[in-house]
Structure 1
Amino acid sequence: MFRISVAALQLVELFVSSLVHLLYGFYIFSSAVAGDLSLALNDLFFKSNIEPSITDGKFESSDNDLPPIVLVHGIFGFGKGRLGGLSYFAGAEKKDEKVLVPDLGSLTSIYDRARELFYYLKGGQVDYGEEHSKACGHSQFGRIYEKGHYPQWDEEHPIHFVGHSAGAQVIRVLQQMLADKAFKGYENTSENWVLSVTSLSGAFNGTTRAYLDGMQPEDGKSMKSICLLQLLRLGVIIYDWLDISVLKYYYNFGFDHYNMSWRKAGIWGLVDCLVGNSGPFASGDWILPDLTIQGSLRLNSHLNTFPSTYYFSYATKRTRKFMGFTLPSNILGIHPLLYIRVLQMSQWRHQPDVPPPFKGYRDEDWWDNDGAINTLSMTHPRFPVEHPSRFVVEDSECHPLQPGIWYYKIVEGDHILFIVNRERAGVQFDLIYDSIFERCRKHAFRKIPTMPDHVQ
Structure 2
Amino acid sequence: MFRIAHALLALLALCTCVPAPAAAAADRNNDPVILVHGFLGFGPDTFQHSGFNYWGGYGDIASHMQVYRGPHTVFAAVVGPVSSNWDRAADLYAQIKGGCVDYGAAHVRKYGLPGQQQKPAGKCWAADPGNNPENYPLALYPAWDAGHPLHFIGHSQGGTTIRALVELLEHGSPDDEGGHTLFKGGKLGWVRSVTTISTPHNGTTFADAVLNVAPPLQTPLLQWATELLRHRWANWEMSPDGARAFNAWARTSPHIYYYSVGTMATEAGSWCCNGTDRAIAPIQTVANQYPRRDMIPAFKGMAGEWIVPSALQHGMGGYTQQAPGRVRIDREWFANDGVVNTTSMRAPSGHPVRDYDGKPVKGTWNYLGTYRGYDHFDILNWPNPGPSANPVYERISDIIFGL
Cα separation, partners in 2 of 1:441 and 1:83, compared to 1, 3 Å: same
Separation in structure 1 between the aligned mates of residue 144 and residue 88 of structure 2, nearest angstrom = 18
Deviations 1:362-417 (A, max 9, x none): 421211111111111101111xxx2221224xxxx32x312122111111121112
Deviation at 1:189, TM superposition (A): 4.1
Match for residue 4 of structure 2?
none
Structure with larger Rg: 2
Match for residue 326 of structure 1?
288
Aligned residue identity for 2:31: P
TM-score, normalization by structure 2: 0.71
Partner SS for 1:214: helix
Partner SS for 1:325: coil
Mapped pair 1:87 → 2:87: no
What does 1:244-259 align with in structure 2 at a 5 Å threshold?
none
Aligned residue identity for 1:366: W
Match for residue 390 of structure 2?
430
Match for residue 185 of structure 1?
181
Which portions of structure 1, spanning 4 or more consecutive aligned residues, are displaced by more than 6 angstroms? 278-281
Match for residue 341 of structure 1?
302
Deviation at 1:303, TM superposition (A): 1.7
Tell me if structure 2 keeps the 8 A contact 1:156–1:193: yes
Tell me if structure 2 keeps the 8 A contact 1:176–1:303: yes
TM-score, normalization by structure 1: 0.63
Deviation at 1:213, TM superposition (A): 2.5
Partner SS for 1:301: helix
Aligned-pair identity (%): 28
Deviations 1:170-200 (A, max 9, x none): 0001000001134723557424211101111
What does 1:267-416 align with in structure 2 at a 5 Å threshold?
283-284=229-230, 285-322=232-269, 324-328=286-290, 330-331=292-293, 333-343=294-304, 344-350=315-321, 354-355=323-324, 357-358=326-327, 361-382=328-349, 386-392=350-356, 397-398=357-358, 400-408=359-367, 409-412=369-372, 413-416=374-377
Partner SS for 1:312: strand
What does 1:203-242 align with in structure 2 at a 5 Å threshold?
203-214=200-211, 226=217
Partner SS for 1:307: coil
Deviation at 1:149, TM superposition (A): 1.4
Tell me if structure 1 keeps the 8 A contact 2:265–2:338: yes
Cα separation, partners in 2 of 1:226 and 1:103, compared to 1, 3 Å: same
Mapped pair 1:165 → 2:156: yes
Deviations 1:223-271 (A, max 9, x none): 97638xxxxxxxxxxxxxxxxxxxxxxxxxxxxxxxxxxxxxxxxxxxx
Match for residue 74 of structure 1?
38
Aligned residue identity for 2:245: R
Aligned residue identity for 2:338: G
Separation in structure 1 between the aligned mates of residue 338 and residue 267 of structure 2, nearest angstrom = 13
**Structure 2 unaligned runs (5+)?**
1-28, 67-71, 128-138, 174-178, 270-284, 305-314
Q: By percentage of residues, which structure has more helix?
A: 1
Q: Name the Cα RMSD after superposition.
A: 2.7
Partner SS for 2:344: helix
Aligned residue identity for 1:416: F
Partner SS for 2:339: coil
Deviations 1:291-348 (A, max 9, x none): 11111111111221122211111111122334642222622x2111111111010110
Deviation at 1:144, TM superposition (A): 1.1
Tell me if structure 1 keeps the 8 A contact 2:229–2:236: no
Cα separation, partners in 2 of 1:127 and 1:92, compared to 1, 3 Å: same
Aligned residue identity for 2:318: Q
Deviation at 1:282, TM superposition (A): 5.1
